[in-house]
């Protein structure tokens, strides 16, 4: 059964005579949130381009794109889980587990790339299903369940690797191609993000599955009464997160040359959630899109790279990410018209 988006009441379109002019329709289609992100991105690029002549160079733009790929993959699937009213704080630790497993299996099987990648994806799928089952059938709040997963999977990665980088994969052509190769002038990692983002966008916007996910996040009671199997959808979403996190872990291994239990994956959950929130996802569910999330990923990547190029202490990057997340949530609250906590109506 197909269920329409229930996060907001349907609005009748204007008649031809009342239709806004072409530019207004274009702006409405892009969305105010995305226009703000484009404006902020232009400001960041212009500011750091003015401060450093090499910042806007093609080589540095590629560095920004490559660095943002792993965050982008996680932000895309984080968008999906937030749309359906959930959250996954454990994605960074999942990337670490997948990275370690991919390198260790690759090494132990005599440099078998396929075996390493398959093992990582299998572990990612298992971890994602475990998260989904705990949340759905254990009736545990998603934030608490995945917060526990954040600690557990980080510990698992450290146990498997003894807390050290594992293996060496840069003697393998496939890993080198994934981490450093290019297609049509763009890094392979960027193409992987583009394909993943486009696939998820089509899933959300043009399939019954996507419409049902929006319905679950908008009003889960109505969705259940409409016959949607919410439990099945939630387990599917968390399994999807596990698989994509595993792909991100494989790319991290390819980029760094070895399996990384924590380096390169720690803090990714904050970046992914921040990008999704900045991109317009309502943290209560039922609203969001991949386009806004990708713009937010680009903004975060440009800001992080600019601060690094200017030699600013990396700790300030964490401060900036936290501040942006708060700003995004405040903007959402203002737009929704909800009263502030503790204040009268």
Lowest mean pLDDT among 207-221, 230-244, 307-321: 307-321
On the question of pLDDT at 2 being above 70, the answer is: no
On the question of pLDDT at 26 being above 80, the answer is: no
Dihedrals phi, psi of 115, to nearest 5 degrees: -65, -45
How far out from the chain centre does Cα 67 lie? 13
From the list 324, 151, 129, 142, the residue with the least C-alpha distance to 246 is 129
Q: What integer pLDDT is reported at residue 76 of this predicted model?
A: 96
Any idea which residue has 């207004």 for tokens? 24
Q: What integer pLDDT is reported at residue 32 of this predicted model?
A: 58
Q: What is the pLDDT of residues 73-111, one digit of tens each?
A: 999 999 999 999 999 999 999 999 999 999 999 999 998
The whole-number average pLDDT for the span 297-310 is 91
Q: Hey, which of 203-207, 280-284, 318-322 has the most confident mean pLDDT?
A: 203-207
Q: What is the pLDDT of residues 112-133, one digit of tens each?
A: 999 999 999 999 999 999 999 9
Cβ neighbours of residue 34 under 8 Å, at least 6 residues apart? 279, 280, 291, 292, 295
CATH match for 55-332 among 1.20.58, 1.25.40, 1.10.3470, 2.60.40: 1.10.3470
Q: What integer pLDDT is reported at residue 266 of this predicted model?
A: 84
Its pTM stands at 0.86
Q: What is the pLDDT of residues 39-53, one digit of tens each?
A: 889 999 999 999 998
Distances (CA, A) of 164 to 116, 159, 199, 208, 265: 18, 9, 35, 44, 14
On the question of pLDDT at 27 being above 50, the answer is: no
Cβ neighbours of residue 1 under 8 Å, at least 6 residues apart? 226, 227, 228
Quick one: what percent of the chain has pLDDT higher than 90? 67
Which sequence spans correspond to the domains of the chain?
55-332
From the list 251, 281, 283, the residue with the least C-alpha distance to 265 is 251
Q: What integer pLDDT is reported at residue 264 of this predicted model?
A: 78
CA distance 259 to 254: 9
Cβ neighbours of residue 28 under 8 Å, at least 6 residues apart? 20
Cβ atoms of 197 and 76 within 8 Å: the answer is: yes
Cβ atoms of 181 and 188 within 8 Å: the answer is: yes
Cβ neighbours of residue 23 under 8 Å, at least 6 residues apart? none
pLDDT-derived band at 31 (thresholds 50, 70, 90) equals: low
Report which of residues 236 and 36 the model is more confident about.
Answer: 236
The whole-number average pLDDT for the span 258-281 is 89
Q: What integer pLDDT is reported at residue 36 of this predicted model?
A: 83
3-class SS of residue 324: helix
Q: What integer pLDDT is reported at residue 197 of this predicted model?
A: 96
The whole-number average pLDDT for the span 164-174 is 92
């Amino acid at each position: 059964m197909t269920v329409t988006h229930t996060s907001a009441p349907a609005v009748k379109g204007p008649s031809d005579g009342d239709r806004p002019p072409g530019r207004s329709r274009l702006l409405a289609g892009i969305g105010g949130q995305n226009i703000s992100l484009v404006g902020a991105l232009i400001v960041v690029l212009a500011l750091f381009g003015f401060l450093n002549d090499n910042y806007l160079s093609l080589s540095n733009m590629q560095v920004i794109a490559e660095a943002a790929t792993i965050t982008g993959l996680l932000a895309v699937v984080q968008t999906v889980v937030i749309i359906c009213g959930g959250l996954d704080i454990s994605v960074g630790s999942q990337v670490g587990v997948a990275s370690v497993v991919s390198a260790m299996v690759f090494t132990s099987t005599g440099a078998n790339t396929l075996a390493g990648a398959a093992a990582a994806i299998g572990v990612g799928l298992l971890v994602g299903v475990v998260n989904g089952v705990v949340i759905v059938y254990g009736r545990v709040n998603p934030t608490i369940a995945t917060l526990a997963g954040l600690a557990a999977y980080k510990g698992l990665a450290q146990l498997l690797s003894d807390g050290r980088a594992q293996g060496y994969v840069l003697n393998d052509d496939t890993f080198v191609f994934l981490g450093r190769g290019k297609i049509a002038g763009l890094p392979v990692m960027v193409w992987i993000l583009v394909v993943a983002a486009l696939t998820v966008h089509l899933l959300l916007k043009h399939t019954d599955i996507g419409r049902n996910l929006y319905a679950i996040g908008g009003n889960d009671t109505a969705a259940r009464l409409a016959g949607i199997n919410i439990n099945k959808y939630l387990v599917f979403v968390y399994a999807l997160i596990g698989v994509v996190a595993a792909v991100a872990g494989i790319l991290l291994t390819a980029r760094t040359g070895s399996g990384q239990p924590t380096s390169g994956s720690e803090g990714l959950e904050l970046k992914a959630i921040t990008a999704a929130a900045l991109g317009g996802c309502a943290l209560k569910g039922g609203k969001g899109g991949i386009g806004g999330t990708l713009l937010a990923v680009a903004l975060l990547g440009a800001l992080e790279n600019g601060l690094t190029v200017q030699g600013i202490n990396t700790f300030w990057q964490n401060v900036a990410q936290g501040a942006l997340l708060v700003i995004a949530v405040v903007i959402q609250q203002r737009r929704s018209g909800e009263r502030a906590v503790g204040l009268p109506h």
